[in-house]
Amino acid sequence: MKRNILLNPGPATTTDTVKQAQVVPDICPREKEFGQVMENISAGLLKIVHADQKKYAAVLFCGSGTLCMDVCVNSLVPQEKKILFVNNGAYSARAVDIAKAYGLDYIDLAFPVDGLPDLDAVEAALAADENIAVVYTTHQETGTGILNPIREIGALAHKHGAVFVVDTTSTLAMLPIDIEQENIDFCMASAQKGIQAMTGLSFVIGRTDIIEASKDYPLRSYYCNLFMQYDYFRQNGQMHFTPPVQTIYSVQQALQEYFAEGEQAKWQRHQAAMAEVHAELKKMGFREVIPREIQSGLVVAVAYPETANWDFDRVHDYCYEKGFTIYPGKMQNKGTFRLCVLGAINAEDIKAFFNVFRQACSIENENL
């Protein structure tokens, strides 16, 4: 099978064995056998974040990572309470849009997209409003590659009696996470990026006591309600509605491969790939937009070269024809593109990419 190297922020490159795991005999998803597959997946997800199975649950949903952003925002805010968004990028801004769509009472504590949130401002916002019940932020803002200080934000949330929710879509199963050490009450992701499965399954990992308390909160969504999905699986061993059957078999295989590789070895692989990205960008004279000390090590935002000849689309298309995908940036008023090391790739793949990237830049008269 042709292997494409995806350096976009997801979906990411997968192994052939994960792809092939989808080719299974047809099965009704209401069979006990299939329910056991999902139960095993949930247990594996808890293990990835070192969660106590007596205190946390992994709740599976059919959809993209954004679906579980929706789930957390609409399900976890009690009546007449507020949600505070610590927002320094496009993905926390998306969560703000979800709150707007539901008519929730919210505070958008917005910061510049090229820096970290101000923790003093976060604490001041919490101290000023006792109605804040939930604090929400994004672990890695994938538009910039900034890694946010979630442990510190979570400590502030807990100090003021709020639940802490983190979008870990682009860090989970790559950057090691211990859910309790990081002060996380709820996190979410899709099964595609770090886990390296196929698209179509997402999940929320969260405290069961809070999930069970949320049954008395306003029902703002029927399909995307956290308690309803959790409770239905607990009672029936099934998703409330039809799951993505073949995708789930790919997740089962991807989890086996994750644990076979190991948490630390996998993170070291991602780090080695990003080290190669940094080295090659420096050789070519490209400028990284975000200071290295606040980068995640998984995504780098690169400034367009200051020349009239640069054409990102043509460079992208040349690389794409050679089996490599790069992706435009997500920073307003700044011309950037992104290189990401999220999937089943390694440092050798990055070296191969830069051989092609140099050719593309040379053709564009960008021999930097």
CATH code, 86: 3.40.640.10
Structure tokens at 235: 């009672």
Domain harbouring 330, CATH code: 3.90.1150.10
One-letter amino acid for residue 304 of the chain: Y
Do 277 and 131 lie in a common domain?
A: no
How far is Cα 149 from Cα 75, in angstroms, rounded to an integer?
24
Do 244 and 348 lie in one domain? The reply is no
The partner residues of 138 in beta bridges, in order of sequence, read 167
pLDDT of residue 347: 98
Query: CA-CA distances (angstroms) from residue 114 to 87, 135, 168?
Result: 11, 21, 19
- Nearest 5°: the CA angle 15, 179, 270 is 35
Kindly give the confidence (pLDDT) of every residue in the chain, 368 residues in length, as a single tens digit, with 9 standing for 90 and above. 899 999 999 899 999 999 999 999 999 999 999 999 999 999 999 999 999 999 999 999 999 999 999 999 999 999 999 999 999 999 999 999 999 999 999 999 999 999 999 999 999 999 999 999 999 999 999 999 999 999 999 999 999 999 999 999 999 999 999 999 999 999 999 999 999 999 999 999 999 999 999 999 999 999 999 999 999 999 999 999 999 999 999 999 999 999 999 999 999 999 999 999 999 999 999 999 999 999 999 999 999 998 878 899 999 999 999 999 999 987 767 789 999 999 999 999 999 999 999 999 987 664 44
Bridge partners (DSSP) of residue 82 are 105, 132
At residue 308, the pLDDT reads 77
Contact between 281 and 145 (Cβ < 8 Å)? no
245 and 285 fall within a common domain:
no
Q: What is the pLDDT of residue 141?
A: 96
63: DSSP letter: S
> What pLDDT score does 365 carry?
60
The CB-based long-range contact list for 93-96 (8 Å cut-off, 24+ gap) reads 94/66, 94/69, 95/69, 95/136, 95/138, 95/167
- Domain match, 48 and 148 both: yes
Closest by CA to 264, choosing from 50, 76, 10, is 50
Per-residue model confidence (pLDDT) at position 331 = 76
Number of domains in the chain: 2
Based on the fold, state whether residues 217 and 128 are members of the same structural domain. Answer: yes
Q: How far apart are CA 85 and CA 117, in angstroms?
A: 11
Considering the domain architecture, whether residues 153 and 248 belong to the same structural domain is answered as yes
**Per-residue three-class SS string for 227-274:** HHHHHHHHHHCCCCCCCCHHHHHHHHHHHHHHHHHCHHHHHHHHHHHH
What pLDDT is stored for residue 227 in this prediction?
99
**Which residue segment(s) compose the domain that 192 sits in?**
17-259
Query: Which pLDDT score is estimated for 364?
Result: 61
* Residue 160: DSSP 8-state: T
Task: State yes or no: cis peptide before 9, omega within 30 of 0.
Answer: no
| Integer Cα distance of 260 and 328 in angstroms | 33
255 with 269, same domain?
Answer: no
- 283 within a domain of the structure (yes/no): yes
Distances in whole angstroms, Cα of residue 72 to Cα of each of 59, 162, 275: 11, 14, 34
In this structure, are 270 and 247 located in the same domain?
Answer: no
* 237, 167: one domain: yes
Decide which of 192, 226, 259 is a domain's last residue.
259
* Helices 119-128 and 150-159: angle between axes, nearest 10 degrees: 20
Same domain, 250 and 278: no
Q: Are residues 34 and 143 located together in one domain of the fold?
A: yes
**Is 338 assigned a ligand-binding role in the annotation?**
yes
Listed in sequence order, the residues at least 6 apart from 348 whose beta carbon sits closer than 8 Å to its beta carbon are none
Residue by residue, DSSP assigns 294-343 as: GB-SSEEEEEPPSSTT--HHHHHHHHHHTTEE-EE---TTS-EEEEE--S
Q: Does residue 97 form part of some domain?
A: yes
